[in-house]
Structure 1
């Protein structure tokens, strides 16, 4: 039976026939069969491509992504069913979505490694716990969907006890082998193991690691070196052959350039000539939609330019709240476990164009891969063949092409002469209906066939079957309702409490101390870690909705040693490289009874707003702290007694959290967040996450065409926007936020509301605001933060200048 997906797209084929000059019977034959038997001379010469199964080429290792580096998968495990399984299917299930073939995971180190911190399996020497964190769960879920997926482990940071702060030590080798043992206890086999992410290499350490793996039952684990920038490992191996013998894979990061268009992706002569496997072992760091064109180029061009046989995107997905750095990177976003909302990006479908049509163990065909017409601007193509040299797939990208191109293929070298199945994605379209579309099959005639490719597309041609596009849909976005509370008693020891996301240190559930029964959250890091970031923030963890405005956050606390604990309120944007790096208010109380209300920002500018001394908390005893944030009034209470207050309006909305001093172990219990007054409604300020300034109509003008900018928040009517049920953002009651064009760089303005699509906006869970007509993000130009900086449409990229908070 012919399904709808199997039928020819007659409109596409008719257009194709006309573009070739075919008329009458020839065009009709093309429309009905998808085959070209009669081939009149086209208006311009077609590009000839030979797919030759006899061509030499390297073995393909896979395309996938990285979970970690860090914390970017955190919220996924807290999603309800069926949404959690739906997301996992889109990531890993063959024939459904991104169908990842390889996944690298972070070996947690109790320290921030970009978007959060992941817990170590060994907080202190000898105390191994194999049930911490969510990466074991992630790997098990990936394996359950694709038993053939390859798994890679890599450390970004590590607990400070390792080598007394020196990662390149025997301690870290023992630490990594203990982690492999944990994987075994979970029924997981790790295929590859790296060293220290982007922190250089110690050649003797890698040789010692190889010896230790061989002697302790892990001879099958292959070593990747050195997960840094460039191909220095290949150069080092020429000088130190023993190092070369210890390593199986040379892995380099951002081989096409960091966050680049990925148009040119070389390796090095020493790397290519080494005979080693070469990987692009970290790439991307791009928005899940906006990064799709670069991903399409890079997957092909890494092999064409540099003979790299694996491509690992950073990260798998962004399962983080929108105030976290890189909150829209990956192939999907999952920022709201409380509502179940998620979104699958164009990058997932670009990845699927390789992963659903190949498998690790296939082989590239070098003479059947290259640039269309020898010109990079026309696009690229790669061809691969299955073991046995029968089935084949060709993946074509035309990201930079300016017009349609006719391609004439010849198939030779023992490859199948059977029907070709064709899929395409219009990467320039934001309409999901244009992504991963099954096109008309092609039946080669005498080993030849033709295809017309459009600009800005990815195409996959294959003799295999089993490809598909998942049909699960996300529920609508929704706020995390207040009041909210958690007594932490429902969790197993070693796990993370629901929605609580670590950003430095490690906060995990354990049995309560101080004579209290039940479970509590404990800050586990007993010393400064081996940091991956340049900044050395103290331990903190966050929870909740970034739009929470007026509330009281309270919690029981117990200090296990001298130092201080903190409650965090209105936590917003943060910068992982800063020493104290969070836009937030803090209530800090020390064991000696000193207390303070503080404000901090992403540049580490900390202000003490109020302070004093109350009865000493001491250690080993429970106390209740509360921080009330009501408008500009901030009030602190200890054990039910108000100790002081302050007035400040720097931060108007944000999450709650726990924090401690560096190396201070402490426990927390009975978290409550109680709302005060009104929470954000349809009318209020729209603040830029990067600037903390408001969306503002220039000079308080009410004239049509008045431009919009950012300015210090002042409560003016020109800064009060209403989100309507018809997707408009209105100001002054009758003027709409209006985009007079659909191209990147179009400056937004106000205009009398008229119901046009250019006046409709989507307020997204990731904090972005996108134009319904353009699909582009509301952007503060040049990432500016100064008063008067223009606001315009721009391609979504996950930057803090494209994220907004309503209050």
Structure 2
């Protein structure tokens, strides 16, 4: 995945295109009884009579648009719509979910006729290095030492296949262990490495359909030729090669200039073809790409919030083919199964941040994806003359039609994301397609109400192959002659904290697996038999040298675990250094910079084999401070020691083998996860993890600190007047920064004033007001760290992702930015 920018980006398009009011249900009629205005009035009256609901008539339909669905039209073969597990670590927590929630989530992702019904999935070939939201373990940490049971991608692929045996699987590397080519990915070592990975897939009963090179890191044409030869000679002639999973269509140009390279590859895959994190309104490829004879894919797209990114997804799936003849669309990622402090914590089509509570949320993007995947299948054929823009105008929306490879079935997917009014569409079916009953499904993408998503509408009976449909603005529609579609009914349990005390002796895991909730962000921490005569299992940092990095920042190995709201606790663990260097305990870990994941908001207790120790603080800018340090008896290597870091208010205390090393006062970080860390290439073991609470955890009353700014929610000028605005400011424990979360969903300050939203408009600045109990003074404190208005559904947002004192706090569309996440203390 490309991470060119960070912060509050997924909402930028919406900042210039404010959310419109929710649209109304569409009208569906046959051509013979179509009476738009009177039909709507009758339908509205009936609905009012039956339900008591208030129905607002839609804007008048525009002049009718004629669409011919011609089964004889030429078009390319459809390869599928799906997503990416990896790039990286974004699926990590899913495997730790309890049943039935784990299966429920997997059903929503992969099960046909239930949710997103993904048809293609790309997975990361783990490389022991951070690749955006975490690091995934390699199957071969050191040359020749292959273990096919590491990580969770094998499990993920098997679960996808169990639900959809026809799903296509793709493998791609982001980073790699440092032994490969002595740090050069474009080497014969990496080809051998990929062949070994394919062998692991075979051992798991998995068939990999496609294989790529090095994600977003250019291409070496000879390497691709050599890869093709190796695949052919070593038992994998049916694995197709995708090149080069980068930006633009240079691989198509190279295929024309170098026929041998062209013969080696089957697919030209490009990233963010509509623009990086764009609204996906225009999605061209290139003339060379279209004329190359190669299959074209939009092999990575999205990077958007699971709800807020739905309009862009709806446009892109259709427009990638209309504009650029791309026959596959892969969203990044599949799911955000990560804690809310990790980069891109709400991207994908769903979120699953709390395996301990079982809580998850299915996004609007799931249903947008389902509008294509539940009505088509790989092998169907696009109908070019039956695909395009409504009325020839991009602003009206787009439509694509596809035909089943056998029989006369067809489906047409329509999106009206930017339309300003209803549109009357008149269809004529010809070219050997079925003229029988048409089934209609719709999603109101502008609505946050799940009841408006993936709704089965009344069937239409064409007359002599003709029928009409009135479509509303901001919707996705699927019209089809197929059946079998459906909307899953599983529901999530409530959110909940990971309770303290917490402990794990790691003895219950198989060798090579990851301990529960432990999420790697650099290096690889996995369970192995304990060393130095200790029985049982321990966690070991496995990366023995610097990897081939994918990120620009070259972080040292670290892994995190726990609840981001843990505040005052002691984290302790047994530690054994296998070689000279240092190991670290991490406390109150928060956000990190995805370009340089070493820049983590956290405290560290560092101890080295020579006896040097220090308590340190770090932040997302990489400003590491030594708060206390000293020297004790040398720890040596191959010997077990017990480390403990106590974080109690502003007092930080380090102990080694029960003896206090030192203590220091610092109040920079107030809450966060725990973790293990080592120096680069330092192998070490960890055992008997315990996190013991000290009291003073999150209470109903305290500060509300911005995750992105590390500044507190503050009433301007300490004013107690109604209408005083709220901002961020340096935390000072003042009464104007002390908030109470009440049982009535209010956030009160000064005892009698409530956090108040003056309107439901994006950009509205929040303020304080005398408490009234109204919905505009009620707030949801969510598991992902966001605070959303009960009335508006919008997030409490620091304007422009600012971090300066006095930056305004407003309502904004939730987008997963760190400027919309808050830590209560």
TM band (smaller chain): over 0.9
Q: Aligned partners of 2:44 and 2:743: how far apart in 1?
A: 48
Superposition pairs of residues 383-462 of structure 1, within 5 angstroms:
383-462=401-480
Q: Deviations over 1:653-710 (max 9, x none)?
A: 0000000000000000000000002210111111111100011111111111111111
| 1:652-663 alignment, distance < 5 Å | 652-663=670-681
Distance 2:235 2:528 in 1: 32
Q: Provide the secondary structure at the position in 2 that maps to 1:580.
A: strand
Q: Which one of the candidate residues 275, 280, 285 is aligned to 1:257?
A: 275
Count residues with an aligned counterpart. 789
User: Residues 18 and 27 of structure 1 are in contact (CA less than 8 Å); yes or no, is this contact kept in structure 2?
Assistant: no
* Aligned counterpart, 1:379: 397
The answer as to whether partners of 1:13 and 1:30 remain within 8 angstroms in 2 is no
SS of alignment partner, residue 353 of structure 1: helix
| Matched residue, 2:146 | 128
Distance 1:324 1:24 in 2: 50
Q: Render the CA deviation track for 1:78-103: whole Å, top value 9, x for unaligned.
A: 00000000000000000000000000
| Aligned-partner SS, 1:46 | strand
Work out the CA distance in 1 between the residues paired with 2:712 and 2:47. Answer: 57
For 2:819 and 2:226, the matched residues in 1 are separated by 46
- 1:4-153 correspondence to structure 2 within 5 Å: 19-21=36-38, 45-153=63-171
Work out whether 1:732 is the aligned partner of 2:750. yes
TM-score, structure 1 as length reference: 0.96
Alpha-carbon displacement from aligned partner over 1:184-230 (angstroms, at most 9, x marks no partner): 00000000000000000000000000000000000000000000000
Report what 1:474 is aligned to.
492
Determine if the alignment matches structure 1 residue 513 to structure 2 residue 531: yes
SS of 1:234's partner is helix
Which residue in 2 is equivalent to 1:775? Answer: 793
User: How far apart are 1:456 and its partner, in Å?
Assistant: 0.5
Q: How does 1:116-265 map to 2 (within 5 A)?
A: 116-265=134-283
Q: Structure 2 CA distance, aligned partners of 1:27 and 1:748?
A: 36
> Do 1:193 and 1:223's aligned partners in 2 also have CA atoms closer than 8 Å?
yes
2:372 corresponds to which residue?
354
Contact 2:592 2:598 in 1 (8 A): no
Partner Cα distance (1:10, 1:310) in 2? 30
Q: 1:338 and 2:356 equivalent?
A: yes
Residues 128-158 of structure 1 deviation map (CA, whole Å, 9 limit, x = unaligned): 0000000000000000000000000000000
> Within 2, Cα distance between the matches of 1:300 and 1:235?
25
- Equivalent runs, 1:341-740 vs 2, <5 Å: 341-578=359-596, 580-740=598-758
Q: Any stretches of 5+ residues in structure 2 without a counterpart?
A: 1-23, 49-59
- Does the 8 Å contact 1:503/1:539 carry over to 2? yes
CA shift for structure 1 position 43: 7.4
CA separation of 1:609 and 1:381: change in aligned 2, threshold 3 A? same
In structure 2, the partner of 1:283 is 301
Shift of the alpha carbon at 1:238? 1.4
- Give the whole-Å Cα distance in 1 for the aligned partners of 2:356 and 2:99: 11
SS of the aligned residue for 1:657 comes to strand
**Which residue matches 2:55?**
none
Q: Hey, what's the Cα distance between the residues in 2 that align with 1:168 and 1:803? A: 40
Which whole-Å CA distance do the structure 2 matches of 1:27 and 1:531 have between them?
A: 59
Shift of 1:29: 14
Shift of 1:11: 9.5
- Give the alignment partner of residue 776 of structure 2, picking from 745, 755, 758: 758
Change (3 A) 1:487 1:366: same
Q: What is the distance in 1 between the residues matched to 2:246 and 2:125?
A: 17
Conserved? CA contact 1:579–1:604, under 8 Å: no
| Aligned-residue offset at 1:578 | 2.2
Rounded to whole Å, the distance in 2 between the matches of 1:793 and 1:374 is 36
Q: Secondary structure at the match of 2:592?
A: coil
Deviations 1:752-799 (A, max 9, x none): 121222111111111111112111111111110000000111111111
C-alpha separation in 2, matches of 1:26 and 1:155:
54
RMSD of Structure 2 on Structure 1 (CA): 1.9
Aligned partners of 1:536 and 1:577 also within 8 Å: no
Distance of 1:158 and 1:23 partners within structure 2: 60
Return the alpha-carbon distance in structure 2 between the equivalents of residues 789 and 646 of structure 1. Answer: 31
- Unmatched 5+ residue regions in structure 1? 1-8, 32-41
User: In the aligned structure 2, how far is the partner of 1:702 from the partner of 1:157?
Assistant: 54
Deviations 1:429-470 (A, max 9, x none): 111011001111111111110101010000000100000000
Q: Which aligned segments of 4 or more residues in structure 1 are displaced greater than 2 angstroms? A: 9-31, 42-45
SS at match of 2:600: coil
**Match of 1:775, SS?**
coil
Q: Could you report, residue by residue, the CA deviation over 1:710-742 in whole angstroms, capped at 9, with x for unpaired residues? A: 111110111111112222111111211111111
Contact 1:17/1:30 (<8 A) preserved = no
Give the conservation status (yes or no) of the 8 Å contact 1:559–1:619. yes
8 Å contact kept, 1:543–1:656? yes
Stretch deviating more after TM superposition (698-707 or 546-555): 698-707
Shift of 1:384: 0.4
2:76 alignment partner, SS class:
coil
| Partner of residue 35, structure 1 | none
Look up the SS of the partner of 1:476 in the other structure: coil
Distance 1:345 1:717 in 2: 38
**1:514–1:621: 8 Å Cα contact kept in structure 2?**
yes
Q: Deviations over 1:310-364 (max 9, x none)?
A: 0000000000000000000000000000000000000000000000000000000
Q: Answer with 697-706 or 21-30: which moved more.
A: 21-30
Distance 1:803 1:478 in 2: 17
TM-superposition CA deviations, 1:586-645 (whole Å, max 9, x none): 000000000000000011100000010111110000000000000000000000000101
